[in-house]
Amino acid sequence: MLTQREKMNVVIIEGLDRIARVVAERIASVIRSKATEGAQAVLGLATGSTPLGVYRELIRMHREEGLDFSNVVTFNLDEYFPMDPGSMHSYHRYMWENLFDHVNIRRENVHIPRGDIPKHEVDEHCRAFEEAIVQAGGLDFQLLGIGRTGHIGFNEPGSGPGSRTRLIFLDTLTRRDAAGDFFGEDNVPVEAITMGVGTILEAREIVLMATGEHKAKIVQRAVEGPVDPDVPATYLQGQPNVTVYLDPPAAAELTRIKTPWLVGEVEWTREREVEAVAWLSEQVGKSILRLGERDYRDQHLSSLVARYGSAPRLNGEVFNALIAKIRGKSKLPREKRIVLFSPHPDDDVICTGATLHKLQGNDNQIVIAYQTSGNIGVVDDELRRYSELMRRVGRAFQIRDSALDELPEKIERFLADKAPDQVDIPEVQELKRAIREAEAVAALETLRLQPSQARFLNLPFYRTGEAKKNPIGERDVEIVVELLEEMRPEIVFVAGDQADPHGTHRKCKEAIDRALARYSGPSPEVWLYRGAWEEWPVDEASVFVPMSEEELRLKILAVFKHESQRDKVPYASPGDRDIWQRVEERNRGTAATLERLGLPAYFAMEAFVVERDGQRLENPAVPTSSLGAEAHERSTKAARPAKSKT
């Protein structure tokens, strides 16, 4: 019953690595089955960050289990146009570097649309590509991802269910999402060659993978919504050979996850009760304490009211549970050892700036650990400004240093001839790193922290000079372990989102998780924050930290210190909003949601999920000895409904 609204077979698995192993095993099964029959396995393959784990697992199977690719034929979904096959952005290069170079596939069996042919030859090339699929016997297995527009391959909104391989214009959102890989949206090709929807649907088995909270809404639309040309992934509905693999964040908007009481029996936990009552409050437009029994009955929640005997008693329980999560300065940790891990040199202030300021005022011993340099996020125009500054400083102070004299010239010569896909020379990478570090220190000082509280870990996995990063390695983990052993933190703040475009946040969390598993000290409390793209839903958050208008202004001033990351970097701020505008919208939006639920009205809020040893803490320990804490407790009691006994 829980899956009755889902029009595809959906499997939810915790962790991208586990999903990758399951999908790789399914592909290996197809290869082995075909080999037993004496036939070739014909695979349709995808690119992007999501399938990388699948390809790594297939390589492992080839090396350790003898998985044979000699009789495998592959057809890739798409390629940018125009695109040099040797470019770092080319899907030709992606596939050879991430799979084909590491297995025994025959070169003649690899088919990838070409982006390096004259435009007048594209139509014939597409027809030949389709004919090659037919001659190979059709696709036995097709691997897919899903874009935020609902595209599969590069079949953008408006693509028809019978479409074939063709040249297509890319949607603005698709190009914006790709901008980080191309160092700016202007460098993203406006066209691509893509396998058509009709070709994909003819595959004998189709697997779609999606991970991260930023995919949740489009996944729900694709799986549960009506078939719609504006969401090409909906064409997969009703196909008996389709399986969708999701991690929990990507599945968060599915009915069975978000509102399971609408489709079946529910095992009521306190977390689920809060979720249901908060949803009902928003659904009917009433504050929690004003919800009546008819509101519950009309929205299939009679069983929940029955547990408490009356709506007022239930309302009071949930109201009190939510208000207990609000933690002003007096209810935040005091005199603790805290390490705040920031994947990039701005995530700390963007996501936790107000909380960080309050914690500093509570006499905590705080270290901000910036895990990567973030240097690829600095555009070249910004670098030219600093290069000119170096030259002028040398002249103004009559600094006689040949290296300092030559460095601006070398940087400017490189930038003058730099191709859009060219990796920066070491000097440019180091200067961009220095820019990010200086901005991070300036932001901390805005929040009244000291420069000495910043640690720049510069984890090796990030040091590729490209948007594509290496897997987390042993040294990455060792660096984090060393900091943990030095600080012996009682609390660590970690970016817990899975939505950042390049996977850096996910990899940084992996390094921390692996380090904590080796750490010799007591398990710290882990406060998970979400990055610049999404915020924790009200029902999921363990702690809300309120802020005044002045505190939000201070936080935004700290964000402004990251000048190289503001509207000069379009891919860092999707849409027409600058980073600070998204920060304000998100923090004020959280406060507004709680106000609609009937809780005290605050100007803005930051939200966190708190865990220990991987288990969520609904009521983390808080100091209670201060006068401020007692005053807050009195105000909380005053806000409780008269009928509530809790």
Active site residues: 156
Q: Say how far apart CA 172 and CA 157 lie, in whole Å.
A: 11
Q: Say how far apart CA 307 and CA 86 lie, in whole Å.
A: 64
* Tokens standing for residue 496: 């817990």
**Cβ neighbour number for residue 192 with a 10 Å cutoff:** 28
Place of tokens 């005290």: 600
Cα four-point dihedral sign 172, 175, 179, 185: negative
Judging by DSSP bridges, how do beta strands 365-370 and 337-342 pair with one another?
parallel
Helix, strand, coil percent values for the chain (each to nearest 5): 50, 15, 40
- The Cα-based distances of 118 to 10, 115, 123 in angstroms read 41, 9, 10
* DSSP annotation of 453: G
Residue-wise over 35-68: b if at least 16 C-beta within 10 A, else e? beeeebbbbbbbbbbbbbbbbbbbbebbeeeebb
Contact 291, 277 (CB under 8 A): yes
| Adjacent-strand bridge partners of 168 | 192
Judging by DSSP bridges, how do beta strands 604-612 and 543-547 pair with one another?
antiparallel
Residues in the chain: 646
Contact 542, 496 (CB under 8 A): no
Specify the long-range contacts of residues 54-58, CB closer than 8 Å, at least 24 apart. 54/20, 54/23, 54/24, 54/27, 54/143, 54/209, 55/24, 55/98, 55/99, 56/20, 56/98, 56/471, 57/20, 57/21, 57/24, 57/25, 58/24, 58/27, 58/28, 58/99, 58/103
* Tokens standing for residue 158: 């408006």
Residue-wise over 193-232: b if at least 16 C-beta within 10 A, else e? bbbbbbbbbebebbbbbbbbbbbbebbbbbbbbeeeeebb
Q: Say how far apart CA 151 and CA 235 lie, in whole Å.
A: 10
Residue-wise over 295-306: b if at least 16 C-beta within 10 A, else e? bbeebbbeebbe
Cα four-point dihedral sign 255, 259, 264, 267: positive
* Biggest alpha carbon–alpha carbon distance for the chain: 83
Looking from the CA of 604 toward its CB, the CA atoms found within 13 Å total 24
